Amino acid sequence: MNAPDTSDLAIAELLVYPVREPVSGRSYTVVRLKTRSGLTGYGECAEVTSHDLATARQFWVGRAATSYSHAPESSVAGGIDMALLDIVGKACRTPIYRVLGGPTRNKARALTSVEGTNIADTVAAVKRALSAGYRCFNVHVPSPTERNQGQAYERKVRQLLDSVRSEGGDFVLDGGELLSPGDAGSVAATVESLHPLWFNDPCVVTNLQTIRKISDESVVPLGFGSAIHTPGTFQDLLRDGLVDIVRPDLGYYGITRTRRIAALAETYYVAVAPHHEGGPVATAAALQLAASLPNFFIQHIPFPPAEEDRKMRAELVSASVEQVMDGFASLPTEPGLGITVNEIALEKYRAA
């Protein structure tokens, strides 16, 4: 067997395709890199500014994909990181997780959000997700009407969770940064005995002492990270024992910087559940990451309620990366990210 040739992986071209789901309006940007040798790599991130795109082009054109560790930070950095690793994996003819020393597991536990403005809608969403193979659900707290709530709100949370639990499966209670720290503490105490997998984003991460109060008052695991764009904040939370599951945003941090945060969290026995609210290319990256990390716990995969949106996600990539069975997604086995991106579909769903 000939060893793969990775000598010429200089980047020749960087393109981005902003796309939008027709019903949900969820938008994300697919990044495409090409090497001089003709390999293509894909990645995904949130919206990219034209300034960041120009700067990234200037930096990457002529540079080797194998130097992915030395990337400057920007709004496109996460997507470029995935695309670079996609190229490295393809050049090595192996999935990214094998480039990174995995697989550390043979499948990845999956989680999806169930949305609804009332209990009946939420329960219907749980049923849909159950039949799609999910066994863990991200349940949003009811929208609080005031900054601080009382017993009526606690009861509403409890009723919602009781209804979701009666369908079977496990759940994450997602505060969506909507609650004040005081309310977050009361809600945590209310749901403690229900054993949510964790209480996500119970409040905004600003003054860590306010979070300490929540974490001192209950044993409900706390998850933070979806909005944390400063890696040092993860260190602060971990050092003070305020976080039980870290959730760096995959599109923002990419695979490489998420791995660095995971390595830090590992020394605190804290697991990683990368935050992911984007499209199927990032899902593929998430699965590669899951199989590369020792302390991966679960991957959130968006599962839009509208059939049309789900169709778009299935069209964008060839492989069935977003298929979940019995609560787990299986690992891609093809080189790189393990998917083929459909460029016709990228054009079809291009955001105006």
In the complex, the residues that contact other proteins under the rule CB under 8 A are: 103-109, 165, 170, 192, 194-195, 197-198, 216, 219-221, 239, 241, 244-245, 267-271, 294-298, 328
* Cβ closest to other proteins, residue 149 vs residue 200: 200
* Cβ closest to other proteins, residue 68 vs residue 328: 328
- Residues composing the chain: 352
Structure tokens at 5: 């040739």
- CA 351 to CA 242: how far, in whole Å? 39
* Cβ closest to other proteins, residue 68 vs residue 199: 199
- CA 310 to CA 23: how far, in whole Å? 10
Beta partners for residue 245, in sequence order:
223, 271
Least distance in angstroms from the C-beta of 297 to other proteins: 5
Least distance in angstroms from the C-beta of 311 to other proteins: 29
Q: In what order do the strands lie in the sheet with 27-35?
A: 11-20, 27-35, 40-45
* Cβ closest to other proteins, residue 31 vs residue 321: 321
Which residue bears the tokens 């699965």?
287
Least distance in angstroms from the C-beta of 265 to other proteins: 9
Least distance in angstroms from the C-beta of 40 to other proteins: 30
* Cβ closest to other proteins, residue 72 vs residue 241: 241
- CA 119 to CA 299: how far, in whole Å? 25
Least distance in angstroms from the C-beta of 75 to other proteins: 30
Q: What do you get for the CA distance between the two ends of the chain, in Å?
A: 47
For residues 294-329, b (16+ Cβ closer than 10 Å) or e, as one string? Answer: ebbbbbbbbbbbeeebbebbbebbeeebbebeebbb
Least distance in angstroms from the C-beta of 244 to other proteins: 4
Least distance in angstroms from the C-beta of 114 to other proteins: 17
Structure tokens at 236: 């602060």
Structure tokens at 181: 């720290």
E strands in 198-340: 199-200, 222-224, 245-246, 271-272, 299-300, 324-325, 328-330
CA gyration radius, the chain = 20
* Cβ closest to other proteins, residue 150 vs residue 294: 294
- CA 180 to CA 334: how far, in whole Å? 45
* Cβ closest to other proteins, residue 17 vs residue 234: 234
